[in-house]
Amino acid sequence: MSLQKELGLFSGTCIIVGTIIGSGIFISPKSVLSNMEAVGPCLIIWAMCGVLATLGALCFAELGTMITKSGGEYPYLMEAFGPIPAYLFSWSSLFVIKPSSFAIICLSFSEYVCAPFYSGCSPPQVVIKTLAAAAILLISTVNALSVRLGSYVQNVFTAAKMVIVVIIIISGLVLLAQGNTRNFENSFEGASLSVGSISLALYNGLWAYDGWNQLNYITEELRNPFRNLPLAIIIGIPLVTGCYILMNVSYFTVMTATELLQSQAVAVTFGDRVLYPASWIVPLFVAFSTIGAANGSCFTAGR
């Protein structure tokens, strides 16, 4: 028996982009900035995280073309160290790492969906958890029914999240071209450059890049993996890195560092200031983004 090869280069790139861009870039800028305390170093950290993710993914591309089996780290550990480390990794992934990650993403989706219905107060936890549980059941059912259906869902949600990313980037660049550059003046002033600050900033930034290794979980289902696996990585991760840096530039065009740190959801605050009265599209598309990341996580983790 073997898995059917139903995924091409476009679907592979969508899985990488769609799984990486979840809720991280809409929330994490605050975490990175709080550690670096200045705009300039913050942007450099985002670029460094992109380089690290790219290097890690290229190493996985080499492994994926040498050992063309699905399952991500499992077959690589099996070949290198034998069945015991491979089994321990598989067990911890199956019972702890993947389900908890899946649940967290679905809870983020639920919070963004519920927020408009409870303006001025926090949504009840029972509503958030019930909607998150429904999302988990729906995504699991879709991926259990068909690989092709799961792939189509991933492609649609990746396209939807790229819409909001492009809207934020273009809005920010237009404002930047109009002369809104005051937040970039003296951008390295007051920066915290200790080892601890840089390490914490990298940790928070890399969380937003989580998912760079997801394509290796479905190597057997890629058509011509020797070509499409490295190409999807080379296209997908630099694309995400560019989007992340430009989105941060857009945020800083509209908000000062202090305002960004005080914001509960950076992208929503950006939408309220720039896209009003159409600011409602930001939480809607962030919800699409998180549900797309959840689908990508489920699609790959099952392998």
SS3 71: coil
pLDDT at 253: 93
Show the domain range for 96.
Answer: 9-296
Contact 213, 57 (CB under 8 A): yes
| In-domain check, residue 285 | yes
Contact 63, 229 (CB under 8 A): no
| In-domain check, residue 3 | no
- By CB neighbour count within 10 A (0-12 exposed, 13-18 middle, 19+ buried), where does 238 fall? middle
- Full 3-state SS string of 257-288: HHHHHHCCCHHHHHHHHHCCCCCCHHHHHHHH
Q: How many CA atoms lie within 13 A of 165 on its CB side?
A: 24
pLDDT at 27: 66
Per-residue pLDDT reduced to its tens digit, 247-293:
999 999 998 888 888 877 788 788 888 888 877 888 888 888 888 88
> What are the residue ranges in the chain where pLDDT is below 70?
1-3, 27-28
DSSP string, 181-216: -GGGTTTTTT----HHHHHHHHHHHHHHTTTTTGGG
| In-domain check, residue 1 | no
> Which residues lie closer than 8 Å to 39 by C-beta, 6 or more apart?
33, 183, 184, 187, 252, 257
Identity of the residue numbered 73: E
- Residue 70 carries which DSSP code? S
- How much is the pTM? 0.85
| In-domain check, residue 303 | no
| In-domain check, residue 2 | no
DSSP string, 110-142: HHHHHGGGGTTSPPPHHHHHHHHHHHHHHHHHH
Q: 294: which 2 tokens? A: 């959840």
Tokens 């598989």 -> residue: 90
Q: 16: which 2 tokens? A: 């990488």
- 93-117 burial: b if 16+ Cβ within 10 Å, else e: beeeebeebbbbbbbbbbbbbbbee
Q: Give the CA distances from residue 237 to residues 88, 106, 117, in Å, rounded to whole numbers and listed in that order.
A: 29, 23, 35
d(CA 271, CA 154): 25
The CATH number of the domain holding residue 131 is: 1.20.1740.10
pLDDT at 133: 94
DSSP string, 22-62: SSHHHHTHHHHHHHH-SHHHHHHHHHHHHHHHHHHHHHHHH
| In-domain check, residue 281 | yes
pLDDT at 285: 85
Domain count of the fold of the chain? 1
pLDDT at 247: 92
pLDDT at 287: 85
